[in-house]
Amino acid sequence: MIRPFTQRECLGLVAGVCWGLVLSRLSATGDMTFPWLVILFGPPVVFLISPARPLLSWQLPIVTAAIAGAFMNGTTDDFAGGALAETVLVWFLCSVLSSPWALMFHHRFQRFQKLGMTPGIPIAYVGMVLLVFVCCGLTFFGFVAPMCWTDADEARNRMMPFYGLLAATAGIGLSLVTERLARKLEIHKLVRGVFELLMIPGVVVGTAFVIGEIVQLFWSKSSEPPTPPGILFCGILVGMEALATMLWLTRLDRRERGRALPAQPPNVPAFPAKED
């Protein structure tokens, strides 16, 4: 049976549509500011008003902003198919990258539903998801930066791998702190899963640097310039940090699963009862 909408949830629907229309005004800039603002600040405004319907609160501002943005940027020369393709692309991009909002708040709603409690204003959860986005942004920038060394003659590009190493270290350190804080809200398993997936690109980057250096030492032509030692060191160190973090998070998962299993009594051999 479908639960009827309460007055607060109806207010959340109106707020979601209005907030999506406000965000769609930024699509006229033509840069990446519009989708990132929708991803970071679209769902939480509706979640604060209507947390009891997490999936609807997550999609409503995204769908509204994508459709309104396509209509605002369209001209009379544009085909309907092109506007539809742009709308679907923006919606898909924003939905995938903003999925932590849906995961956290859906888990929160199910948790309160099992306890038979009405969920209140989720300010702590909004702050937690924003903290997860900050960790992901810092860490991913740190993984990508060591690869940007093609114009190594410029001082800014020479320092980019070092900045990436600092960003990855700060992001991974903040991720570990965030995982500890998420335990108080009982969403640490979801946060841990997001961070485990985030570490995969870092491991790939570190592995690529190691394999590239081996190939350059044994099979590459001598005329090709070698990888600068500083860039090589930053790339390998970033990969080692990501691998260590992934192993640590996996170890935590296995430890918790082991604790959750019921203790089995040892096998005691059964002896036949003695007859008097």
Q: Do residues 115 and 128 share a domain?
A: no
> Are 135 and 175 within 8 A, CB to CB?
yes
Cα separation of 79 and 264, whole Å?
Answer: 67
End residue of a domain, out of 66, 89, 121:
121
User: What is the rounded average pLDDT for all residues in the chain?
Assistant: 76
Q: Given a cut of 60, is residue 263 above it in pLDDT? A: no
Q: Provide the residue range defining the domain that includes 156.
A: 123-258
Cα separation of 51 and 57, whole Å?
Answer: 7
What does the pLDDT read at residue 222? 55
Question: What are 260's two structure tokens?
Answer: 């959750």
Q: Do residues 44 and 149 share a domain?
A: no
What does the pLDDT read at residue 147? 74
Q: Do residues 208 and 224 share a domain?
A: yes
Q: Is residue 83 part of a domain?
A: yes
Listed residue (136, 226, 238) closest to 178, CA to CA: 136
Give 211-259 pLDDT, tens digit per residue.
776 766 666 555 556 667 777 777 888 888 888 888 888 888 788 777 7
Q: Is residue 263 part of a domain?
A: no
End residue of a domain, out of 105, 121, 137:
121
What does the pLDDT read at residue 41? 83
Q: Do residues 4 and 107 share a domain?
A: yes
Q: Is residue 52 part of a domain?
A: yes
Q: Do residues 130 and 227 share a domain?
A: yes
Q: Is residue 64 part of a domain?
A: yes
Cα separation of 63 and 209, whole Å?
Answer: 40
What does the pLDDT read at residue 121? 62
Cα separation of 173 and 248, whole Å?
Answer: 12
Total domain count, the chain = 2
What does the pLDDT read at residue 276? 47
Residue 247 CB neighbours (<10 A): 12
Q: Do residues 213 and 243 share a domain?
A: yes
Cα separation of 189 and 194, whole Å?
Answer: 9
Angle between helices 155-182 and 229-260 (to 10 degrees): 10
Q: Do residues 65 and 77 share a domain?
A: yes
Q: Is residue 75 part of a domain?
A: yes
End residue of a domain, out of 82, 100, 121:
121
* CA distances (Å), origin 228, targets 17, 85, 166, 172, 180: 52, 43, 18, 25, 37
Q: What is the 3-state secondary structure (H, E, C) of 189-253?
A: HHHHHHHHHHHHHHHHHHHHHHHHHHHHHHCCCCCCCCCCHHHHHHHHHHHHHHHHHHHHHHHHH
Q: Is residue 170 part of a domain?
A: yes
